[in-house]
Amino acid sequence: MNEKNSKILVVDDDNDVLQAAHLLLKQHAQLVHTENNPDKIPTLMASESYDLILLDMNFKTDVSSGQEGFYWLDRILNIDPLAVVIMITAYGDVEMAVQAIKQGAADFVLKPWQNEKLLATVSAGIKLRRSQTEISTLKSREKQLATDLDQKFLNIIGDSDAMRQIFEDIGKVAQTDANILILGENGTGKELIAREIHRKSLRHDNVFIAVDMGAITETLFESELFGHVKGAFTDAREDRIGRFETARGGTLFLDEIGNLHLSLQAKLLAVLENRAVTRVGSNKAIPIDIRLICATNMPIYEMVDNNRFRQDLLYRINTVEIKLPSLRERPGDISLLVKHFLKIYRKKYNKDINRIHTATIARLEKYSWPGNVRELQHAVERAVIMCDDDILRPKDFFLSAPRTRKEELILEQYNLDDVEKAVIKKALLKYKGNVSQAARELGLTRTSLYRRMQKYDL
**CA triple 345-349-352, angle to 5 deg:** 85
Strand partners, 9: 33, 53
Short-list 285, 382, 280, CA closest to 341: 382
Looking at residues 170-197, what average pLDDT do you find?
94
Cα separation, 352 vs 354, in Å, equals 6
Asked if 192 contacts 156 with a C-beta cutoff of 8 angstroms, the reply is yes
Q: What is the pLDDT of residue 404?
A: 43
The stretches of 174-255 forming alpha helices (DSSP H) are 190-199, 221-226, 243-246
Asked if 182 contacts 194 with a C-beta cutoff of 8 angstroms, the reply is yes
Cα separation, 201 vs 170, in Å, equals 10
Looking at residues 140-154, what average pLDDT do you find?
51
3-class state of residue 10 by DSSP: strand
Asked if 51 contacts 84 with a C-beta cutoff of 8 angstroms, the reply is yes
- Mean pLDDT of all residues in the chain? 86
Q: Identify the residue with better confidence: 139 or 4.
A: 4
Q: What is the pLDDT of residue 368?
A: 93
Which backbone phi and psi does 241 adopt, to 5 degrees?
-85, 150
CA distances from 82 to 47, 133, 136, 231, 399 (A): 16, 7, 9, 38, 52
3-class state of residue 185 by DSSP: coil
Please state the separation of Cα 65 from the chain's center in Å.
Answer: 50
Q: What residues contact 385, with CB distance under 8 A and at least 6 apart?
A: 345, 349, 351
Cα separation, 87 vs 107, in Å, equals 6
Burial of 341 (0-12, 13-18, 19+ CB in 10 A): buried
Cα separation, 194 vs 170, in Å, equals 9
CA distances from 239 to 226, 236, 242, 280 (A): 11, 7, 10, 10
Range scoring the smallest mean pLDDT among 100-109, 178-187, 230-239: 230-239
Q: What is the pLDDT of residue 218?
A: 80
Cα separation, 89 vs 104, in Å, equals 16
Q: Residues 36-48: pLDDT tens digits?
A: 999 999 999 888 8
Q: What is the pLDDT of residue 93?
A: 65
Asked if 122 contacts 8 with a C-beta cutoff of 8 angstroms, the reply is yes
Q: Residues 423-454: pLDDT tens digits?
A: 888 888 887 778 888 888 887 887 888 888 87
Residue by residue, DSSP assigns 149-168 as HTSSSTT----SHHHHHHHH
Looking at residues 67-81, what average pLDDT do you find?
89
Which backbone phi and psi does 129 adopt, to 5 degrees?
-60, -45
Q: What is the pLDDT of residue 203?
A: 93
Q: Residues 105-146: pLDDT tens digits?
A: 999 888 889 899 999 999 999 999 888 877 766 665 555 455
Q: How many CB atoms lie within 10 A of CB 249?
A: 12
Q: What is the pLDDT of residue 425?
A: 83
- Domains of the chain with bracketed CATH: 7-135 (3.40.50.2300), 161-323 (3.40.50.300), 327-396 (1.10.8.60), 405-455 (1.10.10.60)
Cα separation, 125 vs 370, in Å, equals 57
DSSP H/E element including 250: none
3-class state of residue 85 by DSSP: strand
Q: Residues 311-368: pLDDT tens digits?
A: 999 999 999 999 999 999 999 999 999 999 999 999 999 999 999 999 999 999 999 9
